[in-house]
Amino acid sequence: MKILAIESSCDETAVAIVEDGRVLSSLVSSQIDVHKKYGGVVPEIASRKHLEIVDRLVLQAVEETGLTLEEIDVFAATMGPGLVGSLLIGLSVAKGLAISLNRPFIGVNHLYGHVYANLISCPDLRPPFMVLLVSGGHTEILLMEEWNTVEMVGRTRDDAAGEAFDKIARLLGLGYPGGPEIEKAARGGSPVYSFPRPLQEKGNYDFSFSGLKTSVLYFLQRNPGVSVEDVAASAQEAIVDSLVTKTFDAAQSLAVNKIALAGGVASNSLLRERAIDMASKCGIRVFFPPIGMCTDNAAMIAVAAYEKAKRGFYSPLSTNAVPYLSLDVF
């Protein structure tokens, strides 16, 4: 089964083709340079940029694989969550192709896509397993009991981890997006400062990162001229420590022996190192998507669509963009 999928939930325009779950082509056009000067994504600009390039990426993906559009069995697109204008671009193109070629269409939950990205590098991964879904908009610990059934175990009560990285990077005068910039700066520093790790009581798997941002702000005000690299390393240490500790505590509490990381922050090298170290100590297997598949991409959407298609979960052509789509919708 050949599936062409489009991802356009935020500021990356992506198209991928998979065959029976195997990635044949994965293209991503990033808008980071466009939005960098604004310090964040401007929704109207993002929508316009998607519109400018999505058709070209579809044709390029088909050309790369040596296929024709007529050989595609299913068309898919992200239906949410995300920016509504951006979502509508990918949905409209994918549904238009499905209609014109008389093929089925599948709408994919972007969050499930991030989880399914693990199948690209770890095809033997099977439920039940824990998921640490961590990105600019989400920080959640999930128990995936079946491929289409998740239970919320813990979540952020305020800022997502990726959002905290962005805000702290801005305080430090670093670039956008903040996660890679913090990680880069941290390599030249040491985690010599102790920043807060809230909600540490046993059995509490929720996160809170807004206090960390405020703590860094006050620290910088009290200590002008302090090493940016040391503050970056210390802030990264606090975020990673909270993520790893709570996720593994939750897995052990629920007697789950597999953990999958998902989302853009899952590409953070310190997070991966700490997760691997903790996994070896706890006797838990830990899984990661390929580095390039942690941030938004269409390969993860295509793989998720393939798993949905195998189970007969096709979508009506009336499927619309749902900017606040929850994990209750597979």
pLDDT mean over 31-54: 92
Digit-coded pLDDT (tens) for 76-125: 999 999 999 999 999 999 999 999 999 999 999 999 999 999 999 999 99
- Say if pTM beats, i.e. exceeds, 0.75: yes
Q: Which pair of tokens denotes residue 220?
A: 């910088």
2-115+293-310 sits in which CATH class? alpha beta
CA distance 114 to 133: 8
**Rounded to 5 degrees, what angle do the CA atoms 255, 257, 258 make?**
130
Q: What are phi and psi of 7, to 5 degrees?
A: -120, 125
Residue 287, beta-bridge partner list: 260
Residue 151, beta-bridge partner list: 143
Q: What are phi and psi of 253, to 5 degrees?
A: -65, -35
**Residue 175: what pLDDT?**
87
What residue spans define the domains of the chain?
2-115+293-310, 127-287
The closest of 111, 102, 105 to 91, measured between CA atoms, is 105
pLDDT of 37 above 90: no
**127-287 shares the fold of 2-115+293-310:** yes
pLDDT classification of 307: cutoffs 50, 70, 90: very high
The closest of 29, 26, 4 to 100, measured between CA atoms, is 4
pLDDT classification of 294: cutoffs 50, 70, 90: very high
Digit-coded pLDDT (tens) for 145-162: 998 889 999 999 999 999
pLDDT classification of 32: cutoffs 50, 70, 90: confident
pLDDT of 139 above 90: yes
Question: Using an 8 Å Cβ cutoff, are 270 and 183 in contact?
Answer: yes
Residue range 127-287, CATH number: 3.30.420.40
Phi/psi region, residue 22 (left: phi>0; alpha: psi -120 to 50; beta: rest), is beta
Alpha helices by DSSP H, listed for the chain, are 32-35, 43-65, 84-101, 110-116, 118-121, 161-171, 178-186, 210-222, 228-253, 269-282, 298-310
CA distance 322 to 261: 24
